[in-house]
Structure 1
Amino acid sequence: METLLLDGESLTCRALAAAAATARPAVGLDGPARERLAAARAVVTRALASGEAVYGLNTGLGARATQRLSAEELAAFSLQTLRGRALSLGAPLPAEVVRAAMIVRLNTLGRGAAGCDPAVAAFLETCLARGLTPLVREGGSIGASDLLLGATLGLALVGEGELVDSTGRVGPAAEVLRAAGLAPLALGPRDGLALANHSSFSGALAALFVARAETALTAVQQAAALSMEGFRANLSPLDPAALALRPQPGQAQAAEGLRRLLAGGGLEAPGAARRLQDPLSFRTLPQTHGAGFAALETARAAAEAEINGASDNPAVLLGEGRVVSNGAFQTPWLTLAAETLSRALAQVAVLLVARCSKLLAERFTGLPLFLARPGADSNGFAPVMKLAEALLAEVLLAAQPVAIWPSVNADGVEDALTNAPLAARQGLRLLAAFERLVAIEAVIAAQAVELRGCATTLSPALGEVLARVRRHSPALAEDRPLAAEIEALSAAIRGGALAAPA
C-alpha cells in the first residue's frame, strides 16, 4: 500500500476509510507537518520555562484547572491523565474505527496545535504500520472531546490497557508491544492530554459514516434504475427542464446519475413507459435521492473539517508563539450533519421499500403477482417484504436524533455536550440495514426485468448491474431461502462492487 502522507489539512473521508480498512496502514506525517509539530513543542517548552499558567500543562484539569503543578509533577501528570480517564465501556469498537481515530489524531497533531513531543506522533505511525490497535470500547464520549476514548487509546500506547495485534489477538498492552519489539511510549509534559483530549473518535466515526454512505447512495441509484426498467417507469421526472423549475439541492445530481444509468436502454424508446404518472416512489426519485446527496455533502464538509482540524485545548498558536484555552473540541455541527444524513437516508429507504412493494403488485406492473415465475407453485418475493419492513424499522430507529442536555460534568465547569460520536455510530448502524435493503431491491428489480423480457435491452451500465446481482442471487424459479444471497449482495454493495459509480 502506498504511504498516505498527512499534512493536517487535506485528509478526505474516502482516503481515511481506505487506510483504516487496512490492518497495517502505511501512514505518516509529511515534512511541513513534522516541522509544525516540533515548533509547537518548542512553544510549550518556553511556556513551561516562563512559569505562566497553561491549562493541562502545569495546571490540573476540569474543575481543578486552578491548581498549579510543580516541575516534578509534570511528566507523572501526563500518565495520571490517562489512568484517571481511560474509562471506555461496552462493546469494543471495530479495529477499523480505532485505526481511523489513530490516523485522525496523527493528522491533527500535524497542525501543530497540540504541543506534544514529536515522539508521540512517531509512535502512532509505528503502531499503525505494525498493525497494533488499542482496544477501545464504544461507550464513554459525550462529544465534548472524546476524552475517555482518547485516554483508553493512550493508556494502551504506554503499555497499560489492551492492544489488538495484526492477527486480531487481544492481549495486555505491554505484552503485545514487547512481542512487536517495541517499548511502551514514554510521556513528557502535555503528552497525556494530547493523547486523551481531542475529538478524533467523533471525526473518525463521522468520516467512516460519510464514506460508507456515499457508496450506499451510489448503489441505491443503481438498484432504483433497475427497478425503473422492470416497472417500465416514465422518465419525465428526470427531465432537466422540469427539475429546473425548482432547483432543489442534490436533485440534479440524482437525476443525472439515473439518466446516465438508463442511457442507451429500452426505457428511452418512445412509448416504453406504461403509465402517464407513476407512484411517488418512482416519480420523486430525483427529489428524495437528491436530498440524500445534499445531506451527504454537508456531512462530508463537517467530517473533513473535523479530521483536519485541531480540537486541542489548550492549543498552541504557532504564529503568535503562545498557548490559549478554547472550545474547539465541541462538535455540535458534526452531530447535526450526521443526524441530517441519517434522516435523508431514511427518506431514501422509505421510497425503496415502497418501490419493492409496487414491483410485487400485479395491478401496478402487469407482471405475475409477487414476481413468481408463471406456473410455479410459489409465493415469489412476498415473504421478503416482511424482511424489508423489519430492516426499514431498524433504519428509522437509527435515524432518530440523539439527545442533548446541559452536562453536569466537572463540578459545573463542563456544562455542555453534543453526543456527536453516538450520532455517527447510529449512522453506521443505519447503513448496515440500509445496505441490505438495497440488496433486496436489486434482487427484486432483477426478477422484474427478466420477467418483463427486457434484460437484453438494458443499457450497458444496468446490464453490468444485473450481471453482478445474478452472481450473488440467481433468478427465483421456485421457493428457496434467500437470506444468504441478500447478505452476500449486501456485502458487495458495501464494498462498492455492485457496479461502477454512477
Structure 2
Amino acid sequence: MLSRPIISLGEAPLSLDDVAAIARREAGVALSPAGREAVLRARAVVDRLVEQAIPAYGITTGVGSQKDFGVSREAIARYNNMMITAHATLAPGTNAPPEVVRAALAIQLALFARGRSGVRLELVEALLARLQADDLPAARLGSSVGASDIVAMSQLAVPLLGRPGVAPGGSGPTPVGALAAKEAISLLNSNSLMLAEAALALAEIRSLLDAATLAAALSMEGFRGNLNSWREEVDLARGQPGQIRVGGALRDALAASRLWQAGEARFLQDPLSFRCVPQIHGAAEAAFDFAHGLFEAELSAACDNPMIEAATGVFLSHGNMETSACCLGMDTLRQGLAKVIEASGQRIHKIQWPGFTGLPTSLAVEPGAIGGVQFLNLGHLAGANVGAVRQAAFPALLNYSGQLDDGVEDVAGNAPQSVAETVRCLVPAWNVVTLEIACAVWAIHRREVPTGALGRGLQPLASEILALLPIGREGETIFDLGPLVEAVKAAAGVPRGEKRHG
C-alpha cells in the first residue's frame, strides 16, 4: 500500500486542495522545522507579556465585554481552562462530520505554525498528535455568526483538558491537561470550522458544475438541438473567461457527435435554456473563481486576535476574524449555482414536452396512460429539488443584526450561515443534474440515436445511465434515483465513498 503524502505545516500556505486531501485522509500532516521555530518565537513574546504583567487582551485580561478586567498571573491557567469549557456551551444540533473536523484541525494547526498566535509548542504538538492518530473531537454546527467559530472551536478543544466533550474521544495521545496564557483565546478564536466546511463544499461544487455541463450536452443530444449556438466564435465574441471555459468543455464532450452534421438540428433556434448554457454556466464559473480565490486566501489569514508580532515583540488587536469577504464569495457562488440548476430544470421539462420534442407525451413508447418519465414523477422531483436550491440561494451577508458582548460585537460576516446554505443545496442540486441526465438519455434512446453517434465525452456516462433506467418497466418496481446520482458523481470526479452530502 502506498504511503500518503505529508503536508508540512509552516513551510507554505495551505491550499483548498490540501485541506480536502487531509479531510479525506488522502494526505497526512506534520509540523515543519520553520513552523516549530515560528511557534517558539511567538511564545516568547507571550511569556514576556505575562512576566511583565503588561495589559494584553486575552493574555492578561478577560475577553469581549470583560476585556477591562485583569487576570492575575496565578489565575491564568485556571482562567484559560474555564474559558474553554464555558465557551463550549452545547445546543441541540448536528455534529460536524469527521472530514470537516479533520480539515478544521489542520487549518487551526496551520494558523499556529505561522507564529502569530503565541501558543506553546506543547499545545501544537498535542493538536498534531490527535489529528495524526485520527482521534477526533466533536463539535456542533450552527453556533457561529462569522466572527470566529467560538463555540464550536471551544468544543473541539475541551477534550485536550481531559474533560468530556460533545462525544467520547478527541483528547489525542498527549492531552495537555491545562492551558497556559493566550491559549484559550487562540484555540477558540478562528474560523477554522467554517473554512473546513467551505473547502469541502467548494470541492464538491467544482464536480457539480462539471456534471451540470455534461448534463446540458446530453440534453442537447436528446433534444437534437442546434450546436451553432455553442460554437467557439460565439464564446470568443462575448469574451467572458467562464463562458469560454464552459464552451470548450461542451465542445470536448460533444466531439465527433453526429449532432454537428448538417440537418441534425431540429430547430433554427432552440429555447434559451439550451442556447444559453455557455452564458449561464460561464457566470457560475466566474462566481466559482471569485469564491475560490477568497477562501484560498483566507486559509493563510492571521485571524487570531490578538496577533503576535515576534519580530517586534508586540501584540496587535485587530478584526481579521470578520468573514464578510467569505460570505460574499459563497453567496455569489450559491446564486450562480442556483441559476445553473434553474436552467437545468427548464431543460428537463422541455426535453419531454411533446410540443418541443415531437415525441410522445412523457417520452413514452407511444401515446397512452402508462409509461415514460412523468409516470415516474421525474418532473415533480425536478420541480421540488429546483425549488430547494433556489430557496437556499438567498444571500446571507446582510442577515445578521445583533449586539453581542454588551455591544462590543455589533457586526458579523455571517459566512457560517452562507456555507451552511451552500451545503444544504448540494443534495437537491445533484438530484436535478441527475434527473436531467436521466431524461436526456431517455430521449436519446427514444429517438434511437446510437450511443456511438453521441459525443465521445458523453458515451461512457450515457451507456451507464441507460442501463440503470427502467425503460419499458415503469411501474413494475419502485425506481431509485440514488444509483444514478452515484454514477454521475463518479463521472464528475467525486471520490467514491465520499458520503458527506448524500
TM-score (norm 1): 0.91
RMSD: 2.3
2:158 pairs, out of 152, 155, 159, with 155
1:137-169 per-position Cα deviation (integer Å, ceiling 9, x unaligned): 112111011111111111123222336xxxxxx
2:213 maps to 1:221 = yes
2:282 maps to 1:290 = yes
2:412 pairs, out of 414, 417, 439, with 417
> 2:253 matched to which residue of 1?
261
> 2:462 matched to which residue of 1?
466
1:353 pairs, out of 331, 345, 349, with 345
Residue 499 (structure 1) shift: 6.4
Mapped to 1, the partners of 2:33 and 2:426 lie a distance apart of: 37
Mapped to 2, the partners of 1:142 and 1:88 lie a distance apart of: 16
Where in structure 2 are the equivalents of 1:23-422 lying within 5 Å?
Answer: 26-89=28-91, 90-162=93-165, 170-171=167-168, 173=169, 177=171, 182-374=174-366, 378-382=370-374, 383-402=377-396, 403-422=398-417
Does structure 2 retain, via aligned residues, the 8 Å contact 1:88–1:139? no
Are residues 317 and 271 of structure 1, via their aligned partners in 2, closer, same or farther at CA, if it must alter by over 3 Å? farther
2:440 maps to 1:440 = no
Are residues 122 and 25 of structure 1, via their aligned partners in 2, closer, same or farther at CA, if it must alter by over 3 Å? farther
Mapped to 1, the partners of 2:94 and 2:61 lie a distance apart of: 34
Are residues 490 and 34 of structure 1, via their aligned partners in 2, closer, same or farther at CA, if it must alter by over 3 Å? farther
Gapped runs of 5+ residues in structure 2? 496-502
> 1:167 matched to which residue of 2?
none
> 1:451 matched to which residue of 2?
446
Mapped to 1, the partners of 2:100 and 2:240 lie a distance apart of: 34
The aligned length equals 487
Residue 389 (structure 1) shift: 0.6
Are residues 212 and 82 of structure 1, via their aligned partners in 2, closer, same or farther at CA, if it must alter by over 3 Å? same
Mapped to 2, the partners of 1:390 and 1:482 lie a distance apart of: 22
**Greater Cα offset, 24-33 or 276-285:** 24-33
Does structure 2 retain, via aligned residues, the 8 Å contact 1:222–1:465? no
Mapped to 1, the partners of 2:444 and 2:424 lie a distance apart of: 31
Percent identical: 32
Mapped to 1, the partners of 2:494 and 2:127 lie a distance apart of: 35
Q: Which residue identity does 2:399 align to in structure 1?
A: I
Mapped to 2, the partners of 1:483 and 1:63 lie a distance apart of: 58
> 1:166 matched to which residue of 2?
none
Does structure 2 retain, via aligned residues, the 8 Å contact 1:465–1:499? no
Mapped to 1, the partners of 2:273 and 2:286 lie a distance apart of: 19
3-state SS of 1:327 partner: coil
Does structure 2 retain, via aligned residues, the 8 Å contact 1:40–1:316? yes
**Greater Cα offset, 373-382 or 137-146:** 373-382
Are residues 88 and 339 of structure 1, via their aligned partners in 2, closer, same or farther at CA, if it must alter by over 3 Å? farther
Mapped to 1, the partners of 2:457 and 2:346 lie a distance apart of: 24
Gapped runs of 5+ residues in structure 1? 164-169
**Greater Cα offset, 458-467 or 320-329:** 458-467
TM-score (norm 2): 0.91
1:359-380 per-position Cα deviation (integer Å, ceiling 9, x unaligned): 1112212233212234886331
Residue 321 (structure 1) shift: 2.7
3-state SS of 2:240 partner: coil
3-state SS of 2:237 partner: coil
Residue 2 (structure 1) shift: 2.3
> 2:499 matched to which residue of 1?
none
3-state SS of 1:139 partner: coil
Are residues 246 and 497 of structure 1, via their aligned partners in 2, closer, same or farther at CA, if it must alter by over 3 Å? closer
1:308-353 per-position Cα deviation (integer Å, ceiling 9, x unaligned): 2221100012333321100000000101111111111110011001
